[in-house]
Chains A and B, each alone.
Chain A
Amino acid sequence: MKHVWVIAKRELSSYFTSPVAYVFLVIFLLLAGFFTFTAGAFFERGEASLGAFFSWHPWLYLVLVPAVGMRLWAEERRSGTIELLLTMPIAPWQAILGKFLASWLFLAVALVLTFPVVITVNVLGSPDNGMIVAGYIGSFLLAGAYLALSCLTSALTRNQVVAFILSVVACLFLILAGFTPVTDLLSRWASANFVDAVAAFSVITHFDGFQKGVIDSRDLVFFLSVMAFSLFATSVVLRNR
């Protein structure tokens, strides 16, 4: 575990020594604010909840999380440092986990910095804070699932642009799998069971519960297994480089 932390520490500090971290945080907070207050009609809703805030997260993360994850392995491959890293006396999973945890922690920092919306809604009314906590947990898991997928696409290529696009497409699939127009289209030629199976992969359905304040073990298992599977696939890709 010590090595995982050493790698995570290095990765995290590299976010903050480059402009990546600051650009990301500012854009993330601006967009989150815009979606919540303008597009999400926070004030017009007249309810003391963060529904307007959380419901945009799957779309917001769609672009921003791959931007964080795209460099994880692609950059190591391009600069050749992957050769240093993987010839150190560590198991590959330690490097994969360390890098993943660092970026996830970074996304957690971004999420924590949205605290003013929590204060706002508490000043204006008396919201169900348990529901807000559940929403944050769900959002954090959602970010982790996207990030693990980005980690995988990043391991596939040394080109960060390719990694980014592949990862956006993969995440988009996770959103659209449960999107009504897509399920309708699928049901034209596939059996109902197949359509249900595809829809079960959608992050929207699994994220919904958290927004309503329900932490369902099935949703937890879904997000954690997307992460575990993606990180495992990353290790397979790296082994066969």
Chain B
Amino acid sequence: MIKIENLVKTFGAKRAVDGLSFNVERGEVVGFLGPNGSGKSTTMRMVTGYYTPTSGRVTVGGHDVVEAPLEAKRLIGYLPENAAAYSDMTVRGFLEFAAEMRGLSGEAKKKAVARAVDRCFLDSVLHQSVDTLSKGYRHRTCLAQALIHEPEVLILDEPTDGLDPNQKHEIRNLIREIGKTKAVIFSTHILEEVDAACSRAIIIDRGRIVAQGTPDELGRPLDEVFRKITLPDTVKR
């Protein structure tokens, strides 16, 4: 579903993503790991069409993200970093807006909103405005937005960041469930999540893949493997 070939993104002199290539198929949940600033978010932003790659190619469901952005974006559900949402809207209003932007209306829109609300446990805050939500609810609202059109591809940037253990558990189960039929990439720096939700993990450091495979192939304990192959950001480059 997702094909990434030789992807490069530079910001001035800095190469944030430096020649990444990998594929994600339907039915896979790929954990995207790496220290802060290793290029995870930048890669995801290129997959979703928010950034234009400096060079290289991303195709989603066969559509090139740069050349056929609308076709590619239709297939994608995206949870950006920090779960951005329009803070002056109610949860319901926000989800209805997302549904309308995805071309849903009338009965289909109602059903889509109800399903997303149900899946992300948002019933109790439906009429609350987004800026009054706790972090967990805010994350789930933004996740509901990403799921609203039943996308074939899900891109989740740190979906469990800042959640309490119960909420993390719920989100992981949800991701694993969705991953049975869709292609999912999610980024994290919590290593236990890889075991809990992923079928495969890709570890990147300074814009390059340094290891990939199933959690078992990578070796255990995971955090030791992680520390061995990536450099802490206190190291001078």
Contacts and interface: CB of A to CB of B under 8 A. Distances in A.
Main secondary structure of the interface of A (DSSP, over half): helix
Given A3-B101, A10-B86, A79-B87, A84 B145 contact: yes
Interface string A62-81: 00000000000000000111
B70 A89 contact: yes
Given A3-B101, A6-B100, A89 B73 contact: yes
Contact of A84 (B80, B100, B103): B80
A18 interface: yes
Interface in B138-157: 142, 145
Contacts of B89: 10, 13-14, 17
Q: Rank and list the top 9 A-B pairs by shortest CB-CB distance, nearest first.
A: A80-B84, A89-B73, A87-B48, A83-B80, A89-B74, A6-B100, A88-B101, A81-B84, A14-B88
Nearest to B99: A6
A221 interface: no
A86 interface: yes
Range for the number of chain B residues in contact with chain A: 20 to 34
A87 B78 contact: yes
Contacts of B102: 88-89
B214 interface: no
B50 interface: yes
Contacts of B142: 84
Contacts of B97: 6, 10
Given A10-B89, A14-B86, A87 B101 contact: no
B39 interface: no
A237 to B, nearest CB: 14
Nearest to B82: A80
B30 interface: no
Interface in A1-16: 2-3, 6-7, 10, 13-14
